[in-house]
Each structure stands twice: as C-alpha cells, then as structure tokens.
Chains A and B, each alone.
Chain A
Amino acid sequence: MNRPVGKQFMQGNEACVFAAIDAGARFYAGYPITPSSEIAELCAEFLPQVKGVFLQMEDELGSMAAVIGASAAGTKSFTATSGPGFSLMQENLGMAIYTEVPCVVVNVQRNGPSTALATRPGQGDVMQTRWGTHGDHPIIVLSPSSVQEYYDLTVRAFNLSEKYCTPVIILTDEVIGHMKEDLVIPQLDDLEIINRKVPTQSIEEYRPYQTGDDDIPAIAPFGSDYIVHISSSCHDETGFSNSKPQTADKLVRRLHRKIDRNIEDIVQVEWFGARNADLCIIAYGAVSRTAKQVVVDAEEKGLSVNLLRIITHWPFPDAQVKEALNQAKAVIVAEMNLGQVAQEIQRLNSSHTPIYSLTRIDGEMIIPSQIMSKIEEVMRS
C-alpha cells in the first residue's frame, strides 16, 4: 500500500481509513450504508495490502460481533455505519463495553429517525451513542469537525480504545464524511500508537479481568498461553459467569470508574474566539464550522461572541461547559437535532445562565445567518 504522507487533499471518510490503518487496524467488518460506504470500499481495497481482512457481513448485528471476535483474537478492528445500522449495532456494542474488548465504531450520521432523509446530514444520534445499548455503561465518543481532525481522532479513537479496553465511537456526520479538504498526514514514526496491556502474571495465576490500581484489565488475545474467557454474562475476574450481586455491582462500577477517573485524558474541547466573551455558542461537528464563521462575523459587527466546540461528546465535558455557563451572559447551543446536547448543558446550569437551543432537522446545514439572527435576538433581550 502506498501510504499517503504530508499534505493531502482527501475526503473525510478516506482520511478515516488511512488513519485506522496507521493506528494498526487490520480487520474491518461492516454492512454498506450511505454516507459511510466509502470507508468499507477503501478498507476492501487497502486492508488486504497490509495483510488485513475486510469482510462484508450479512448485517450490522453480525458486523459488530465479528469486530469483537477479531479484536478478542488480538487484531485491532473496526466498523463504520450510519443511523439505521448503528441501531442494529447497539446489541453488541453493549457486549464490547461489558467484556472490555477494544474496537472502534464510526457512525457517519444522517438525518433520522428510521430511514428518513437518506442521506442528508443530521446530528440526531448524540444521545443514542450515550444510551443506545441497554444497561448502565460508560462510553467514549469523539466528534471531528474537519478532514484533518477526522484523521487525528480516528488514530486517537484506536488509542483510547486500546488504552482503556473499551469501544470508542467516532460520531461524525454526512458533511464531514463526504467533504474534501486539505490535511497533513504525519510520518508513521511521528504517530503515537497505543496497544492494549499485556498480562504480566504467571499463566497459572492469570485472571483476565483482574485489574491493578488503574481499573484496567490485561486481556490476552485468544491463542496465547494465557487462557482467556470472555462472557457477556455477569463475570468475575476469571472471566467466567458469576451471578453474585457483589460481582455484578463491582464490575459495572469498575467499568465506569476506569473512564471517569481519566476524564482529563479523554475529554477534548476547542475554544474559539475571546475566552471571556458575552455570548458563547456551543456546537460540534459540521455545525461548529458554521459557528466559527459566526464568531468571526460577530467580531466584525462588534459583538462579543465565542465558541466552545465539543470534541469529546462522552464522557461529557462538564467542566468546560460549566466554565462557559459561568463566563457568558447567554449560551446558544446550535445542533442538527432537537436539542440533545442543549438538554445536557441545562443539567449543568447551576448558574441559571439563559440557554437558547437552536435546532434544525430538515437535512440542511445550519447556516451562519441563522446563528447570527439568534445572536442578535438574544443580545436585544
């Protein structure tokens, strides 16, 4: 494979594939769905060239299961889909979280619910990434807003996934997935690549789900001398099923703890514009590009506006959002759904800062004039 390096002009979904391969992914299983299919097509072309395997599964239920199987066998694995397929993946996403199998799921969002406006952009899956699979569970979700960031966050997604033994979701949208723009692909040697922990115990004493102080297990790949038992049922440190109440409690609390205690490592945001502006726009993905333009336009008009761009959706950037709520006189949350993140921000609003939810669900982009008129309306009141 001719690995692209340096300044490139490419599509978002294309950058994702090169990043995945750079991060060490050697297995992809998926089912075609617009606007994510370029990822499958490019994996089909490039994975065999790096001794990897691309597999088109019979559905997304099986795709997610195959990704788990390949990762459990020691091969970094991923899949890509959009809303309808992502709904089918919820079953085994829960399995991957509960059994701590690293993997990456790319959801290139389209307008929903159901088949809806195939395939206009949307951002309606934010809460589905958080709560789509049943039961209490933590999740890591990253949201790129440029082709460059799509590349960077794909590498980061694999790294976080391996580091914390958990699935990581890249939540992007049709705009970022299909747009073409410049990016710089670093030399392989300049990339930080993280691989999952390896066991250090003796084979006799090995328990795959035993953790040290870091709450992270060292699960050996299938086929190693360390025998590994992975179970979707409640399991103890041996990995075997165990239905004692204290086992169930201990496991789920640890799964949350291993993410919660590393929030500073996981959470990323971008501040754009003056930090102490009167009005703060909160946005992410494609909409944050519109918002950046608005911040620039507002400055020209003499209005004091900044942007808090969410990069890590989950765990939610509570501290940064609280800072925005405390700093600004008002907050506008612009998103292509009916206020999924605006509600989450309301949860943190102990300062009772006015929060305005700007929504759009017709498959069209939120445009600068829309946000600007909202700003002018808010500033007047």
Chain B
Amino acid sequence: MTTHTHKDFLDQRHLPHIWCPGCGDGIVLRAYTMALAELGLAPKDVVTVTGIGCWGKSDDYVATHALHGTHGRALAYATGVKLGNPDLTVVTLMGDGDAVTIGGNHFIHAARRNIDLTAIVVNNYNYGMTGGQYSATTPLNSKTTTSPLGNAEPGFDICSLAETAGANFVARTTPYHIVSLKNLLKQAITKKGFSVVEVITPCPTYFGRYNINPSPVANMHWLKEKGVPVAKYQQMTEEEQAQHFVIGAFVNKDRPDFYTMYQQINSRNGTEREGER
C-alpha cells in the first residue's frame, strides 16, 4: 500500500484558501488531512461531504472524492453515500449553521440512527459567509449583525445534543489544540457509528470582533484560556464553568451502527433469499 502524506489529500490547484486571516478553518483542514494520512487511507477511499458557508467551502481544497451540496443537508447526502457504498469512509465538514441550525433535524437523526459517518463541526458561533448573523450556537446576549444589541436566544451545546441523540463518539476541541484536534479526528473517523467532533473556531472578522477581540492572536488566546479539559472543568465553580467550555472526548461507546443493525434484522427471514431473483 502506498503511504500518503497530508498533502496528497489537498488539491494544490485551488490553494491558497479564501478564509480570513485568523480564521481557524485552515488549521482544521490541515488536521483533517493529516488524520486521513496517518490512518493510512488513500484519497479514493474517502468522500468529503460539505455544506454551505465558510467551512462548507473546504471541499475546494480536498483531493478525496467530494460532494458539496445544499445548506444543511451534508449529513443527508452522506447517509446516502454511506449506504450506497458502505466500504467508503464518509466525513462531513459542516459549520454550526449546517450542522445544528438549518440541518439540525438531520444531525439528531444521524446520531439517533448511529450511521457510520464522521461530522467535523466547525463552530464559530455565527454565519461568517453571509456577514456575521447569529446561528443556533450563538450564545445568549452575543452581538451579531442580526442581534446588534444582543442575542435573545440561547445557543445549542452541540456535544450535549449529539450525546443525547445517540452518537457513538463525541468530542470538542479547538484549532489552538492542534495535536489533540488531529488525534480526536483520527478516533472519530475510525469509530464505527456516528462521530461528532466540535471544533470551536475563531471568527475575528465577525463574532470575535463583536464579542471577543478583533485581533486573530487575541482570539487564539481566548481559545487557549477558555477551553479546559474535563478534570479541570469539573473542579470549577458553576460561575467559572459558565465562563469556559470543556474540551476532550466525552462519549466513546460501541452501539451497533445503522447498517449493521439493518443487515442483521433484515436477514432474519431472508437467509435463503439470495440468488432467488
């Protein structure tokens, strides 16, 4: 088997990428391609499914098979791809809009179904591509271009949502924590069943500028300071916890995935049916 490096998973023709200075998307893309290479996969083994938005543009730079679809439907396409050819490694790259706002229904059902897909959800707490409007993960009271005085809606916790809905693997990290990011992606891609890695990512152009700091460096420091491991988080007071978010792997179980269950159940009465047609 030929060994591949992360560069073999990048389509060099379309680089450099379009993302703003200080955006985390490029770092996540690098971690994704490194994870694929280190897992010994070849570009032909992998289908990258993207949605719409800043992170939804990432298929422009990948050399795997790719499907760039309509907004919010990445997991639904990916479900079809996986069932159309179960041998493929299928990874969806979605933003917070794609994954849990317009595509929230597909997200909970992919988790409930436990279909063997990986979702890399880049959460920058807002819609960057359309100019910084609030999404379903924008925290309460945050300023965005559609909540100029503050957001009256609380945001979803993507990982809690994934866990409650039934995902086999759920983790959260940031582009600041690049090594753990890559390792969590490797675990997620390897895991049979539905895996979610939420990557909290800076958007210095919009969300960061309005709510954190316009400086890319300051946004990186914010991730470093706010993202704390489970053990440390548990020692915090409730007030401190509210000022931080927990990083690491929270769910790692082996509930049978959809296709395994489907085959098992449908072979009950049909063992002799093969070849009859």
Contacts and interface: CB of A to CB of B under 8 A. Distances in A.
A53 interface: yes
Contacts of B59: 229, 231
Interface string B1-24: 000000000010110000000000
Interface in B146-201: none
B211 interface: no
Interface string A213-249: 0000000011111011111110000011100000000
A77 B81 CA distance: 11
Nearest to A69: B80
Contacts of A224: 44
A223 B83 contact: no
Interface in A24-75: 27, 29, 48-51, 53, 55, 57-59, 61-63, 65-75
B121 to A, nearest CB: 17
A221 B47 CA distance: 11
| Majority secondary structure of chain A interface residues (helix, strand, loop or mixed) | mixed
A318 interface: no
A53 to B, nearest CB: 5
Interface stretch (B64-72, B127-135, B214-222): B64-72
B109 A49 contact: no
Interface in A185-231: 221-225, 227-231
Contact of A230 (B66, B78, B83): B66
A229 B77 CA distance: 14
A69 B67 contact: yes
A223 B68 contact: no
A224 B88 CA distance: 10
B266 interface: yes
A228 to B, nearest CB: 5
B80 A227 contact: no
Contacts of A69: 49, 67, 76-84
Which one of A62, A65, A225 has the greatest number of beta carbons of chain B within 10 Å? A65
A73 B85 contact: yes
A229 B66 contact: yes
> Which one of B57, B77, B273 has the highest number of Cβ atoms from chain A below 10 Å of its Cβ?
B77
Given A62-B105, A95-B69, A27 B83 contact: yes
Interface string A69-85: 11111110100000000
A54 B71 CA distance: 24
A233 to B, nearest CB: 6
Contact of B69 (A2, A65, A77, A221): A65
A54 B75 CA distance: 17
A3 interface: yes
A282 to B, nearest CB: 36
A92 B47 CA distance: 19
B11 A223 contact: no
Contacts of B14: 240
Interface residues of B, number: 46
Given A71-B84, A74-B85, A223-B85, A92 B277 contact: no
A246 B50 CA distance: 25
A65 B75 CA distance: 9
A95 B77 CA distance: 11
Contact of B73 (A3, A27, A61): A61
A1 B273 contact: yes
Given A55-B79, A68-B77, A1 B85 contact: no
A51 B275 CA distance: 10
Contacts of A230: 66-68
B38 interface: no
Nearest to B265: A48
Given A92-B73, A227-B63, 20 more contacts: A2-B276, A58-B106, A59-B105, A65-B70, A66-B83, A68-B69, A70-B81, A70-B83, A73-B83, A91-B73, A92-B70, A95-B69, A95-B70, A221-B85, A222-B85, A223-B44, A228-B66, A229-B66, A230-B66, A241-B57
Interface of A: 1-3, 27, 29, 48-51, 53, 55, 57-59, 61-63, 65-75, 77, 91-92, 95, 221-225, 227-233, 239-241
24 contacts: A2-B276, A27-B83, A48-B262, A49-B270, A53-B259, A62-B75, A63-B76, A69-B49, A69-B83, A69-B84, A71-B84, A72-B81, A73-B83, A75-B84, A75-B85, A221-B85, A225-B44, A229-B68, A230-B66, A230-B67, A231-B68, A240-B14, A241-B57, A241-B60
